[in-house]
C-alpha cells in the first residue's frame, strides 16, 4: 500500500494566488489597451500595416540588389491594395520601387536623403492614419529606408507573434515581483489564519478512553473549518454515549450474573466430591471472577479520582501476600515479601490498589509453573513488583496481554480481564504497569505510580 502524501496548503495558495495575479495583470493590461483604443489614445486604424509587410518581405538577390520575397502577407496586401506603391533604398544606393507614387507626394521623393522618420497627410490636420509613412528600419536586407502608403491593415498573426515578447518583457516581470511578495506573505497569512488549529490539535491529543467529554474548541477557527470541528465534536459525543451504554450494559450484566453464579456455586459445592464437581467448581469460580472484575472496571470508571486519600503500599502488599500465601503454598510456590521500608504512602484508592496487586499475584500463581518462588516487593519512590520463576511471557504476546479478554493460554480458568484491570487502576492513579525485560527468568510486573501521587514533603 503506497503512502499518500498530503499537499501543502501554503504552496497551493502561493501557486494559485500567483496564477491568479498573472491572469489579472494580463486582463488589466488588455483592458487598458482596449480603453486606449476606445478613447482614441491609440488610433483605430493601424498605419504601419503596409510598412510591416514590406519590412518582412525585403531581401537581396545574388548581386546585392534589393528585392521582395513573395510572402503570404505580401500576396494578401497586393490583393487588398491594388494601387500598392513603395520606394525602398539603402545607404549604398540600391533602390527598389513598385507602383506609382501619388502626384501630391512626388515632391517628397527628392527629399528622402533628408528625411529619417515622417508621417505625411494629404491635408494639414487630417488626423490618423497619415497617407504616407517614411521610415528607416532594419530588415533581412539590412537597414533600409521605405516610403509607402498606409492602406494596409494590422496583421493578427503579427500581433500574436508579438504576444510572447510582450509577455516576457511586460507581464512576466510584474507577475514575478507579485509572486515573490506572495511567497513571503502567504506563510505569514496562513499561519495567522490557522493559528487556532494548534489549539484544536493540542485538545485532540488529550482525547482518551478515560478522558471522555472532551470537545474541540471552535474559537479562533476559520469559518470554513468550523463545520469539520463541529462534526468531530458530534462524533465524540456519539462515541461517549456509545461507550457509556457499553459500560452500563457490562455492569448490569455482571450484577445480573452475580446472584445466579453464587447460587450455582452453592449447589455445586453441595454435590458429592467427584472430578466432575471439581471442574464445575473451577468453571463457576471463573464466572465469579469475571463478574467481580467487570464490576471493578465499572466502579473505577464511575469513581475517577475524587476522594483519594493517603494509603500505605507496604501494608496493602503485605495484606495481599498474607491472604494469598496459603493458595500459593498449596500450588507449590514459595511466597516472599520484600519491602524496602516499613511504610510507603501515596494518595490513592486502597481498594483499587489492593485489587491490582491481588490480580498480579493470582496471575503469577496461575502462570508460574507451580514451582519456584513468587516475590512481592515494594520500593521507593512508589513501585510494587510481582515476579515469578515460570516460563515468562512470549515476545509476541508482551503487548497483547493487557488487552481485555486476552488469554495467553485459552484453556486456563482466567477471564482475561485481570491485567486489563491492573492497567485501568494504574491509569486511574496516573501511573503505569510494565513488564520487565524478557531476558530474565519468569515474568516480572511493575506497578509504577506517578510522582504526583506521592504526599507533599513537609
Both 349 and 387 in a single domain?
A: yes
Among 283, 302, 321, the domain-final residue is 302
Which structural domain range is residue 393 located in?
A: 307-453
- For residue 38, what are the CA distances in angstroms to 25, 44, 67, 151? 20, 8, 39, 21
Both 280 and 425 in a single domain?
A: no
On whether residue 207 sits in a domain, the answer given is: no
DSSP 8-state class, residue 87 = E
What grid cell was written down for 323?
491472604
pLDDT digit string (tens) for 348-387? Answer: 888 889 988 988 998 888 888 888 899 999 998 899 999 9
Of 18-27, 47-56, 70-79, 343-352, the one with minimum mean pLDDT is 18-27
Alpha-carbon gap, residue 210 to 202, rounded angstroms: 17
On whether residue 99 sits in a domain, the answer given is: yes
Both 188 and 263 in a single domain?
A: no
Both 345 and 435 in a single domain?
A: yes
Both 286 and 364 in a single domain?
A: no
pLDDT at 377: 93
Among 153, 183, 207, the domain-final residue is 153
Better pLDDT: 450 or 179:
450
Cis peptide before 58 (omega within 30 of 0): no
Mean pLDDT within 413-439: 77
pLDDT at 275: 81
pLDDT at 26: 74
pLDDT at 277: 79
Both 408 and 443 in a single domain?
A: yes
What integer best gives the mean pLDDT of the chain? 79
Question: Among all chains, which residue has been given the C-alpha cell 494580463?
Answer: 26
On whether residue 204 sits in a domain, the answer given is: no
CATH, residue 421: 3.30.565.10
The band of 458, judged by pLDDT with boundaries at 50, 70 and 90, is very low
Alpha-carbon gap, residue 334 to 365, rounded angstroms: 10
On whether residue 208 sits in a domain, the answer given is: no
pLDDT at 248: 72
Among 302, 335, 352, the domain-final residue is 302
**Helix axes 9-39 and 172-193, enclosed angle (nearest 10):** 140
The band of 162, judged by pLDDT with boundaries at 50, 70 and 90, is low
pLDDT at 322: 92
pLDDT at 319: 93
Both 398 and 341 in a single domain?
A: yes
The band of 44, judged by pLDDT with boundaries at 50, 70 and 90, is very low
Mean pLDDT within 267-281: 80
Both 439 and 311 in a single domain?
A: yes
Better pLDDT: 426 or 259:
426
Looking at the structure of the chain, the number of domains it has is: 4
On whether residue 96 sits in a domain, the answer given is: yes
* pLDDT at 258 > cutoff 60: yes
Alpha-carbon gap, residue 182 to 180, rounded angstroms: 5
- H-type helices in 167-213, by residue range? 172-193, 195-205
On whether residue 405 sits in a domain, the answer given is: yes
Alpha-carbon gap, residue 300 to 160, rounded angstroms: 80
Find, among 343, 302, 124, the residue nearest to 212 by Cα: 302
Most confident of 199-208, 217-226, 339-348: 339-348
What grid cell was written down for 95?
533602390
* pLDDT at 168 > cutoff 60: yes
* pLDDT at 134 > cutoff 70: yes
On whether residue 80 sits in a domain, the answer given is: yes
Coil, strand or helix at 268: helix
Which string of DSSP letters, residue by residue, matches 99-111?
S---GGGGGGGGG
CATH, residue 284: 1.10.287.130
On whether residue 436 sits in a domain, the answer given is: yes
Both 344 and 449 in a single domain?
A: yes
pLDDT at 298: 65
Both 250 and 114 in a single domain?
A: no
* pLDDT at 105 > cutoff 60: yes
Both 241 and 360 in a single domain?
A: no
pLDDT at 68: 92
pTM, 2 dp = 0.47
Both 392 and 291 in a single domain?
A: no
Amino acid at each position: 500500500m503506497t503512502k499518500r502524501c498530503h499537499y501543502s496548503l501554503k504552496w497551493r495558495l502561493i501557486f494559485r494566488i500567483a496564477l491568479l495575479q498573472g491572469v489579472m495583470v494580463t486582463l488589466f493590461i488588455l483592458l487598458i489597451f482596449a480603453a486606449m483604443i476606445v478613447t482614441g489614445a491609440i488610433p483605430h486604424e493601424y498605419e504601419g500595416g503596409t510598412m510591416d509587410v514590406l519590412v518582412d518581405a525585403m531581401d537581396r538577390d545574388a548581386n546585392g540588389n534589393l528585392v521582395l520575397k513573395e510572402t503570404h502577407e505580401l500576396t494578401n496586401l497586393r490583393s487588398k491594395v491594388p494601387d500598392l506603391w513603395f520606394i525602398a533604398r539603402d545607404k549604398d544606393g540600391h533602390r527598389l520601387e513598385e507602383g506609382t507614387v501619388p502626384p501630391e507626394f512626388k515632391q517628397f521623393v527628392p527629399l528622402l536623403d533628408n528625411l529619417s522618420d515622417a508621417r505625411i497627410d494629404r491635408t494639414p490636420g487630417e488626423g490618423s492614419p497619415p497617407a504616407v509613412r517614411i521610415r528607416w528600419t532594419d530588415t533581412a536586407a539590412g537597414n533600409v529606408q521605405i516610403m509607402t502608403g498606409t492602406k494596409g491593415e494590422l496583421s493578427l498573426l503579427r500581433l500574436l507573434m508579438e504576444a510572447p515578447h510582450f509577455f516576457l518583457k511586460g507581464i512576466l516581470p510584474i507577475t514575478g515581483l507579485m509572486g515573490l511578495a506572495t511567497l513571503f506573505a502567504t506563510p505569514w497569512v496562513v499561519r495567522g489564519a490557522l493559528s487556532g488549529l494548534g489549539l484544536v490539535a493540542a485538545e485532540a491529543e488529550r482525547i482518551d478512553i478515560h478522558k471522555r467529554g472532551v470537545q474541540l474548541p471552535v474559537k479562533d477557527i476559520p469559518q470554513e473549518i468550523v463545520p469539520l470541528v463541529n462534526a468531530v465534536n458530534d462524533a465524540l459525543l456519539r462515541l461517549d454515549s456509545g461507550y457509556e451504554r457499553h459500560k452500563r450494559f457490562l455492569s448490569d450484566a455482571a450484577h445480573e450474573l452475580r446472584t445466579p453464579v453464587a447460587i450455582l456455586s452453592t449447589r455445586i459445592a453441595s454435590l458429592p466430591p467427584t472430578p466432575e464437581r471439581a471442574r464445575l467448581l473451577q468453571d463457576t469460580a471463573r464466572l465469579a471472577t469475571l463478574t467481580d472484575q467487570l464490576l471493578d472496571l465499572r466502579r473505577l470508571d464511575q469513581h475517577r479520582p475524587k476522594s483519594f486519600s493517603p494509603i500505605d503500599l507496604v501494608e496493602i502488599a503485605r495484606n495481599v501476600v498474607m491472604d494469598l500465601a496459603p493458595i500459593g503454598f498449596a500450588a507449590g510456590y514459595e511466597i516472599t515479601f520484600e519491602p524496602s521500608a516499613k511504610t510507603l504512602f501515596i494518595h490513592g484508592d486502597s481498594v483499587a490498589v489492593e485489587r491490582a496487586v491481588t490480580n498480579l499475584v493470582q496471575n503469577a500463581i496461575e502462570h508460574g509453573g507451580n514451582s519456584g518462588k513468587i516475590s512481592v516487593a515494594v520500593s521507593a519512590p512508589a513501585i510494587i513488583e510481582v515476579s515469578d520463576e515460570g516460563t515468562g511471557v512470549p515476545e509476541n504476546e508482551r503487548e497483547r496481554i493487557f488487552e481485555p479478554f486476552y488469554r495467553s493460554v485459552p484453556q486456563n480458568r482466567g477471564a482475561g480481564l485481570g491485567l486489563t484491570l491492573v492497567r485501568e487502576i494504574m491509569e486511574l492513579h496516573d501511573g503505569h504497569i510494565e513488564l520487565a525485560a524478557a531476558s530474565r527468568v519468569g515474568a516480572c510486573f511493575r506497578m509504577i505510580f506517578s510522582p504526583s501521587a506521592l504526599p507533599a514533603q513537609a
